């Protein structure tokens, strides 16, 4: 048998140090030749084998440090030999040195491949190429840092003034070099050059701002060009992050710090001149949230200032005229700004809501007057004979949406709606259109009574048709059956029956019989003050058709059988309440244009003994005459519909009742609640009616405490308890 003897391998380190010292000069010479560009004389295979042997003999650490020292010396030599701080061509030379160094480092890295794979990986050292970049940074770039940054900014500013493709390439190459170098877990570019670019960009454009002599429109146009040019240059030279930062720096200098000029002064001037192009540019440039907020705030202030400048004419004789004029001017103002924002493409939600908020402040500054004026305007539109009324009504809804105290508007609108419906002064389709629009905005609870009023009239038309079929109607008789809970009557119990002329009394009784047959258990109460009559009268010179109230017509028809009557006699014959009779007699005997009765003595007072006779000599400019009831000073009671003098007061009283009811409702379930939480809940429920104030809630709680519905906590005065 053969005996196998295994010898231990020769220790690598026995002659390792000697071999390393013998072979290193060979490698060092090769590195110098690589950097000198004489790589054609080298055998990379032989060099690789030498490195391989050194690493195997565990001389990797010595090799690594020797390579570092050699590369450092080469970098220093490149800096001292080719680069000078004050050289105006420093950037161009730096780029050339960089390209040469990178090429040489790549060749050295190829030779040291086994060193990278084994030693560097196991000992967590930089790869040879990366180590070379670090040495390039420390030995070339850092010593020249100030000069590099200064020359970079100089060239950048020159390119901003006049484009140069050569300089653009140079700047781009410089950025590329610095982005390839690392510093503190980031690039040398981000840590050193980028902050300098931002600082100097701020200085550059700050100098532009100080030297400009432009109008706001010219300034906006100029800075837009600057933004476009800068963005184009930065996109070619810098990375995306820096481009965004430069743009933000420009915004700070050109817009934010100069906002008093371009926004506070410029915006009003631009709007005044209707310069839509400049306004669009202003919105485009104010991208920064703070700038946009300032712009919208200034725009809102402008709207409020313009709206506040609208004067209200004091025309007591015709209250509708100043109301209509004011609303029309507000609508035109809103149309103006909506048109501006639409034209410049800024009808986005945030901008549109800012404009609406400004108009809301304007409208609610004098909210009670606004509610009355808007309702009066809508009333005039619905009463008019214009064909294109729907767009006008839709415009009015735009104002209605912004009202906070809609309860005041509701009071006035219902009162005016009732008059239009009973006097047949508007089209039902338009009335329903308007009510539907309000219903969409506020909800069914807001319009339920208005819809009830429309429904009453439609049902009454059916009654009228059927009544004519069942009974003989000698005159044009029309009766509207109204639901008292829907119509704005004050007190139906105050409706007093009167003695009608025989023909009308018979018609009245017939209609009552007809209605009771169809509706068992229901009763009718006649509201004569809401009715009217048209009577044809032959006077000495002409024939006239006179439209007047039922009361006035009842008085006039007495003179078919009487030549003269005193006030007392008329009262006995008609049973008209004395205050109402005084108004009616005054209306048909005192005003010259409606004096169909003669009065003795002729004065402005109606006394019980005054004598009235038919005025055969009455004349008028038109064949059709309307006699309106004159409300005289001193009237203590006004029956029926609320007048325009007191709907606001009624709304204020209704508010108290509504707040009290909601407070009690919100307290019933939890039994105890903090005043702050109660305020939020009640305010939410009243959002579509009016704006709740802490004062109103406090007053409500005080009333409920007095009435023993609510009790304040003895220890926590902000807490309230429900008393069952």
Tell me the pLDDT tens digit for each residue of 321-349.
Answer: 888 888 899 889 888 888 877 777 755 55
Which fold is adopted by the domain 489-639? Ribosomal Protein S5; domain 2 (3.30.230)
Distances in Å between the Cα of 356 and the Cα atoms of 359, 363, 402, 410, 701 are 5, 10, 7, 21, 34
**Who's near 631: CB < 8 A, 6+ residues apart?**
583, 638, 643
pLDDT value, residue 471: 86
- Is residue 635 predicted with pLDDT exceeding 60? no
Give the pLDDT band of residue 643 (cuts 50, 70, 90). Answer: very low
Query: Is this prediction's pTM over 0.85?
Result: no
- Is residue 260 predicted with pLDDT exceeding 90? no
Q: Which CATH class is domain 305-459?
A: mainly alpha
Give the pLDDT band of residue 316 (cuts 50, 70, 90). Answer: low
Give the pLDDT band of residue 368 (cuts 50, 70, 90). Answer: low
Nearest alpha-carbon partner for 408 in 442, 377, 369, 437: 369
pLDDT value, residue 437: 92
Tens of pLDDT, residue by residue over 537-591, are 999 989 999 999 999 999 999 998 999 999 999 999 999 998 899 999 999 999 9
Query: Quick check: do 489-639 and 647-722 share a fold?
Result: no
3-state secondary structure of 543: strand
Q: What's the angle, vertex CA 480, arms to CA 584 and CA 529, rounded to 5?
A: 15
The H helix count followed by the E strand count for the chain is 31, 11
- Is residue 697 predicted with pLDDT exceeding 50? yes
Over range 524-529, report the average pLDDT.
Answer: 87
pLDDT value, residue 476: 86
- Is residue 638 predicted with pLDDT exceeding 60? no
H-run or E-run covering 612: strand 611-614
CB 536 within 8 A of CB 556: no
Tell me the DSSP string of 78-107. HHHHH--TT-TTHHHHHHHHHHHHHHHHHH
Preceding omega of 651 cis (within 30 degrees of 0): no
Give the pLDDT band of residue 156 (cuts 50, 70, 90). Answer: very high
Which pairs with CB-CB distance under 8 Å and at least 24 residues apart come from 401-404? 401/356, 401/441, 402/356, 402/359, 402/360, 402/363, 402/364, 403/363, 403/364, 403/367, 403/370, 403/371, 403/374, 404/360, 404/364, 404/367, 404/690, 404/691
Over range 686-708, report the average pLDDT.
Answer: 88
Give the pLDDT band of residue 455 (cuts 50, 70, 90). Answer: very high
Give 12-147's CATH code, choosing from 1.20.1310.10, 1.10.260.40, 1.10.8.640, 1.10.150.120.
Answer: 1.20.1310.10
Q: Which CATH class is domain 647-722?
A: mainly alpha
- Is residue 449 predicted with pLDDT exceeding 50? yes
Tens of pLDDT, residue by residue over 661-672, are 999 998 888 888
Query: How many Å from the N-terminal Cα to the C-terminal Cα in the chain?
Result: 117
Calculate the average pLDDT of the chain.
86
d(C-alpha 300, C-alpha 267), whole Å: 11
Query: How many CB atoms lie under 10 A from the CB of residue 152?
Result: 22
Tell me whether strands 672-674 and 182-183 are parallel, antiparallel or unpaired: unpaired
Over range 407-436, report the average pLDDT.
Answer: 90
**Which alpha helices (H) appear in 309-427, and where do they start and end?**
320-343, 349-365, 367-383, 390-400, 406-422
Domain residue ranges in the chain: 12-147, 305-459, 489-639, 647-722
Residues of the chain above pLDDT 70, percent = 93
Tens of pLDDT, residue by residue over 581-623, are 999 999 999 998 999 999 999 998 899 999 999 999 999 989 9
Of 270-284, 322-336, 504-518, 709-723, the least confident: 270-284
pLDDT value, residue 302: 86
């Amino acid at each position: 048998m053969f005996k196998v003897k295994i010898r231990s391998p020769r220790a690598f380190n026995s002659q390792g140090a000697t071999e390393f010292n013998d072979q290193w000069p060979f490698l060092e010479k090769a590195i110098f030749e690589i950097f000198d560009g004489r790589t054609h004389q080298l055998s990379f295979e032989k060099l690789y084998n030498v490195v391989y042997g050194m690493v195997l003999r565990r001389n990797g650490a010595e090799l690594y440090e020797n390579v570092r020292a050699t590369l450092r010396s080469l970098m220093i030599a490149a800096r001292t030999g080719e680069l000078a701080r004050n050289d105006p061509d420093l950037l161009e030379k730096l780029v050339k040195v960089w390209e040469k160094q990178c090429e040489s480092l790549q060749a050295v890295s190829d030779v040291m491949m086994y060193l990278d794979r084994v030693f560097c990986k196991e000992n967590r050292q930089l790869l040879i190429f990366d180590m070379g970049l670090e040495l390039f940074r420390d030995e070339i770039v850092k010593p020249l840092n100030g000069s590099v940054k200064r020359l970079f900014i100089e060239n950048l500013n020159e390119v901003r003034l006049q484009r140069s493709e050569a300089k653009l390439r140079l700047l781009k190459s410089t950025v590329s070099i610095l982005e390839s170098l690392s510093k503190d877990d980031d690039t040398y570019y981000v840590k050193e050059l980028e902050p300098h670019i931002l600082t100097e960009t701020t200085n550059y454009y700050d100098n532009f701002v100080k030297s400009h002599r432009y109008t706001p429109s010219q300034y906006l146009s100029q800075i837009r060009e600057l933004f476009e040019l800068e963005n184009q240059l930065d996109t070619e030279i810098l990375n995306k992050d820096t481009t965004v930062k430069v743009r933000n720096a420009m915004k700070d200098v050109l817009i934010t710090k100069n906002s008093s000029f371009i926004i506070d002064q410029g915006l009003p001037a631009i709007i005044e001149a209707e310069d839509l192009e400049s306004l669009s540019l202003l919105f485009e440039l104010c991208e920064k949230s703070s700038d946009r907020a300032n712009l919208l705030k200034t725009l809102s202030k402008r709207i409020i200032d313009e709206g506040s400048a609208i004067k209200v004419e004091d025309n007591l004789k015709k209250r509708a005229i100043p109301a209509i004029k004011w609303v029309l001017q507000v609508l035109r103002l809103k149309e103006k700004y909506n048109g501006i924002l639409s034209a410049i493409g800024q009808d986005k939600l945030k901008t549109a809501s800012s404009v609406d908020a400004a108009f809301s402040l304007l409208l609610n500054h004098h909210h009670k007057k606004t509610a009355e004026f808007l309702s009066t305007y809508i009333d005039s539109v619905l009463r008019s004979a214009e064909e294109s009324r729907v767009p006008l009504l839709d415009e009015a809804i735009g104002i209605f949406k912004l009202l906070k105290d809609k309860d005041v508007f509701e009071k006035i609108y219902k009162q005016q709606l009732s008059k239009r419906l009973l006097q047949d002064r508007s089209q039902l389709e338009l009335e329903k259109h308007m009510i539907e629009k309000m219903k969409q905005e506020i909800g069914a609870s807001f319009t339920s009574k208005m819809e009830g009023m429309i429904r009453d009239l439609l049902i009454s038309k059916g009654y009228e048709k059927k009544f004519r079929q069942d009974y003989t109607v000698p005159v044009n008789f029309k009766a509207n059956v109204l639901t008292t809970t829907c119509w704005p009557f004050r007190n139906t119990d105050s409706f007093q029956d009167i003695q009608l002329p025989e023909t009308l009394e018979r018609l009245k009784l017939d209609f009552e019989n007809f209605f009771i047959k169809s509706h068992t258990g229901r009763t009718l109460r006649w509201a004569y003050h809401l009715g009217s009559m048209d009577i044809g009268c032959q006077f000495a010179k002409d024939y006239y058709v006179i439209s007047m109230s039922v009361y006035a017509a009842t008085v006039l028809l007495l003179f078919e059988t009487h030549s003269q009557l005193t006030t007392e006699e008329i009262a006995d014959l008609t049973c008209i309440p004395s205050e109402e009779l005084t108004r009616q007699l005054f209306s048909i005997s005192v005003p010259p244009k409606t004096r169909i009765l003669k009065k003795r003595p002729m004065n402005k007072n109606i006394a019980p003994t005054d004598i009235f006779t038919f005025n055969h000599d009455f004349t008028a400019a038109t064949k059709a005459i309307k006699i309106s009831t004159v409300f005289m000073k001193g009237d203590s009671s006004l029956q029926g519909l609320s007048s325009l003098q007191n709907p606001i007061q009624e709304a204020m009283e209704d508010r108290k009742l509504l707040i009290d009811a909601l407070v009690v409702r919100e307290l019933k379930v939890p039994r105890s609640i903090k005043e702050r939480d109660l305020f939020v809940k009640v305010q939410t429920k009243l959002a579509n009616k009016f704006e709740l104030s802490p004062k109103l809630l406090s007053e409500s709680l005080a009333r409920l405490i007095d009435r023993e519905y609510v009790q304040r906590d003895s220890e926590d005065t902000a807490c309230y308890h429900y008393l069952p």
